[in-house]
Amino acid sequence: MTNQNLYCALRAAFPADLDRTAIECVATEGAAGDAIFYTWRDLDRSSAMIANLLASLELPAHARVLVHTDKSVEALILYLAVLRAGLVYVPLNNAYHASELNYFIDNAEPSVVVCASRDFGWLSKIAFRAGTAHVYTLDDDRRGSLLQRAAHHPGAQVPVQRTANDVASIIYTSGTTGRSKGAMLSHGNLLSNAQVLKTLWAWRSEADGGDVLIHALPLFHVHGLFVASHGALLNGSKMLWFAKFDARAVTARLPEATVFMGVPTLYGRLLADPTFNAHSCRHMRLFISGSAPLLAETFQRFSERSGHTILERYGMSETVMLTSNPCAPVQDRIAGTVGFALPGVGLRVTSADAELVGAVEVRGPSVFQGYWRMPEKTAEEFTADGWFKTGDLGQLDAHGRLTLIGRSKDLIISGGYNVYPAEVEGYLNELPGVEESAVIGVPHPDFGEGVVAVLVPRTGADVDVVACIAALKQRIAGFKVPKQVFAVNQLPRNAMGKVQKALLREHYRALFAH
């Protein structure tokens, strides 16, 4: 049986000349050191060494490797190594704090944890207590025990045999109620999606001049880890690698690139940079946007400024990519729509009337294997006839073009990160003097939506809203922390006693307006 380990397909796409540059890690202002160049051979050898280290640990089949590090090329190599070793890669946002990590480690029960050295003290305590046997460190300057230990292992390795249905990665997505759920994505889910996108977005082979991708997204989400990295790797294309998005630094390197992927916030920030113009984009072929709705105004301004039409696509952790505006002809990329179902993806909107908005449901080869150890949650999210309920509301036109209209779940998307109000409300309600709270998203010029909290103090309590923000920053990742908190006497409720968040959103709508 052929080995369906995803690494085999990625490795097969490496160029024949393994000494060519695969990734240039760009030195940006504030970051230490010069640019670093990684060849395709480096990726192959280093991932083999780490895979051999992992194999030497004699872990159970399908053991989880949980990764909480800063973005680095070595973190990408670690991902490739985990694939090769046939283990399950569990990446986490490096902004998460101890209370968040506690949950993920308890839930994932990883055999191996890899973290930044600065977090080793508290994180290793949580991990060892939960039964994790191995905790390594990996820093963004190539230091740490992971690479030290891997250095003793051979630079060749045969990827462990895996089937298309074997789980390759668990991506945690926050839940509307309760805690995060781990979406299990298989080798087949990831490969099929990457192959479809390679054709659809017309990645250029070396013979056609070759594509160069600017990789400036975080590495712990579907967008940066799978869509962007797989896109380049599966095409043997060079990446210009940014540890962090910086509009000025990215603009400076745009002339050497042909493909860029970003969340809408990145497009807004490029437009805000006076050095960004059509000349910087002269060799660009494709700007792709996703993870959050792109405003028609940003689409239009970007087109006027750069001469390029952003291609908006739609996906989520449970399904990887689902729809895309067309690559060609360019004029078929329509602002405010997310395009057509990808080949192989079944897409339906539950309203029978094409004019009406309904729940978006999907099925296809990239739809995940279920939530890790939550069969009842998995069952809830699928219809009786096997379609996954995305939680988004949309409208399909007569040609099958999808427009997203809203969400059926209470979710805020801030700068491309999902924030679940129920989770933030839970933390707020634990603060001294807080009776109850409501967390909403309102328009924000940089993040698309800005998180805002409205709370009711207990009778007689004096709640300092600034102190609330400071307290939350100690407990949860910064992107979830409300940018502003308001104390009110009571929350608006309907006759059923349910908080009327729509009224709150309306009331605070202009809060972040310029």
Applying CB under 6 A, which part among 13-21, 192-200, 315-323, 452-460 lies near ligand MLC?
315-323
Task: Tell me the number of residues near ligand MLC by CB under 6 A.
Answer: 22
Chosen residue from 144, 159, 182, 224 binding ligand MLC by CB under 6 A: 224
Applying CB under 6 A, which part among 61-69, 108-116, 303-311, 408-416 lies near ligand MLC?
408-416
323 and 364 Cβ atoms separated by less than 8 Å? no
Angle between helices 120-129 and 98-108 (to 10 degrees): 30
Q: β-strands 212-215, 259-262: how paired? A: parallel
Q: Which residue, 236 or 293, has its beta carbon nearer to ligand MLC? A: 293
Region 384-403 residues binding ligand MLC, contact defined as CB under 6 A: none
Work out whether 218 is an interface residue with ligand MLC (CB under 6 A).
yes
Work out whether 264 is an interface residue with ligand MLC (CB under 6 A).
no
Q: Residue 329: is the preceding peptide bond cis (ω within 30°)?
A: yes
Could you identify the residue written with the tokens 């080793």? 120
Region 30-49 residues binding ligand MLC, contact defined as CB under 6 A: none
Applying CB under 6 A, which part among 28-36, 47-55, 80-88, 409-417 lies near ligand MLC?
409-417
Chosen residue from 291, 306, 390, 395 binding ligand MLC by CB under 6 A: 291
292 and 450 Cβ atoms separated by less than 8 Å? no
Chosen residue from 6, 67, 191, 222 binding ligand MLC by CB under 6 A: 222
Chosen residue from 172, 201, 340, 417 binding ligand MLC by CB under 6 A: 417
CA distance 415 to 159: 36
Q: Which residue, 79 or 447, has its beta carbon nearer to ligand MLC? A: 447
Work out whether 415 is an interface residue with ligand MLC (CB under 6 A).
yes
Q: Which residue, 261 or 438, has its beta carbon nearer to ligand MLC? A: 261
Distances (CA, A) of 431 to 54, 436, 456, 462, 464: 42, 10, 11, 12, 11
Q: Which residue, 322 or 454, has its beta carbon nearer to ligand MLC? A: 322
Q: Is 272 exposed, middle or buried (0-12, 13-18, 19+ CB in 10 A)?
A: exposed
Applying CB under 6 A, which part among 98-106, 135-143, 213-221, 277-285 lies near ligand MLC?
213-221
33 and 243 Cβ atoms separated by less than 8 Å? no
Work out whether 319 is an interface residue with ligand MLC (CB under 6 A).
no
147 and 74 Cβ atoms separated by less than 8 Å? yes
CA distance 135 to 125: 10
Q: What are φ and ψ of residue 186, in 5° steps?
A: -95, 170
Region 420-449 residues binding ligand MLC, contact defined as CB under 6 A: 447
Q: Which residue, 112 or 254, has its beta carbon nearer to ligand MLC? A: 254
Q: What are φ and ψ of residue 417, in 5° steps?
A: -100, 140
As a dihedral over the C-alpha atoms of residue 333, residue 338, residue 340, residue 345, rounded to 10 degrees, the angle is 150
Q: Which residue, 358 or 450, has its beta carbon nearer to ligand MLC? A: 450
Distances (CA, A) of 460 to 425, 432, 457, 485, 489: 21, 12, 8, 19, 11
Work out whether 217 is an interface residue with ligand MLC (CB under 6 A).
yes
Chosen residue from 103, 122, 479, 486 binding ligand MLC by CB under 6 A: 479
Which residues lie near ligand MLC (CB under 6 A)? 217-218, 221-224, 244-245, 263, 265, 290-291, 315-317, 414-417, 447, 478-479
